[in-house]
Amino acid sequence: MSTLKHDWFLKQVPGKPMGRYAHIVTVRVTDSYPLFQTDGELNTARVTAGIDATEPMTRITIFKRKQSTPERLVGRELLRRYGFISGDASDGKAETGADGLPICDYNVRFCTQCPDCIAYGFAIGDSGSEKSKVITDSAYSLTSYEHSHEAFTLNAPYEDGTMTRYGEVTSRINEQDHVTPQVIFPSIVTTRDLTENLFLYVVNNVMRTKRYGAQTTRTGRMTNHIVAVVLADGEIFSNLLFTQALYDALKDKITPPDPVNPQDVLAAAQRLIPDLLKQDGVKVDQTLMGKDLDAFLSDVSALDVKTLLEKAYADSRAYHEAWVAKTNKKK
């Protein structure tokens, strides 16, 4: 971690908000046809196209959980892969699985101590909850809904390839709205009061997650380009403002129905971020961009995953002991 300010991070995750916001500024680009929908339709929002460009535009939105859940699941898969949490499902009673590892069953029985539980939060009925320290917000397509989606009729033919059986046409036809490839979603992942190890755990998840979408079978590929890491004493600009600022900056290069070149977006983001930060009114302690950012990201990629998880686990476990276990005992 040659370039990241280590000293900036807290040595322990505190029990109360301490105002240490580490932002991972990303530009997410679709590589295939993901589905981000609720009840069969893509989610959209009617907003102004840019800040200077005040005409209205309908944009595709990706809600928070559709961004954070796949990233969580990637991290949890690694925690199982490297032997930190059990592969067993919860039977409602046992705390450890047959493998002797803590059972952390997503949305069923959270272990309340692994990096995922502490960084992203959990809720277990009445018996306690932990607020997420990873904050995401809805992301908006840079280009309009009109030019960023395609409606597919998904056929589910019989094995012989036909859609008819006994003279009847199958009803297994379903029309669905998909996002098209190379659609751009500027998006900021904010972490609050995490230790450096837990922050790196989150960065690693963002870097590794390549599939997003409604459900496992309906996911599509997406690439997350990290364009900046910003350490500040408050939350920086919103996804919508970032998207609208990029729209203004790229106005000449947005020529629908042609796709926007992601490289143009990345370059524009680099130019815009310092100005956007100035307008935010927060104190920025570090902005990693360009070569410094590249050095940081290649350091993260080069990390030994098991060691990274071990360190993150030690930090989440310490928080568990200081704050989670204590509160449970009081009850």
The residue ranges that bind Zn ion (CB under 5 A) are 104, 111, 114, 117
Instruction: Kindly state the DSSP code that residue 111 receives in the 8-state scheme.
Output: -
Please, which residue, 78 or 117, has the CB nearer to Zn ion? 117
> Closest approach of Cβ 106 to Zn ion, in Å?
8
Query: Apex CA 42: angle with CA 41 and CA 47, to 5°?
Result: 130
Nearest residue to 36 via CA among 141, 172, 174 = 141
Please, which residue, 114 or 254, has the CB nearer to Zn ion? 114
- CB neighbourhood size of 119 (10 A): 27
DSSP string, 153-165: EEE---TTS-SEE
> 295: buried, middle or exposed (CB in 10 Å: 19+, 13-18, 0-12)?
middle
> Closest approach of Cβ 309 to Zn ion, in Å?
12
- Answer for the pair 296, 178: CB distance below 8 angstroms, yes or no: no
Please, which residue, 117 or 222, has the CB nearer to Zn ion? 117
Measure the CA–CA gap between 109 and 89, rounded to whole angstroms: 9
Beta bridge partners of 41: 38
> Closest approach of Cβ 137 to Zn ion, in Å?
24
* Helix H or strand E encompassing 8: none
> Closest approach of Cβ 93 to Zn ion, in Å?
17
Please, which residue, 132 or 144, has the CB nearer to Zn ion? 132
Please, which residue, 79 or 277, has the CB nearer to Zn ion? 79
Please, which residue, 86 or 287, has the CB nearer to Zn ion? 86
Structure tokens belonging to residue 23:
């932002």
> Closest approach of Cβ 188 to Zn ion, in Å?
25
> Closest approach of Cβ 108 to Zn ion, in Å?
11
Beta bridge partners of 184: 29
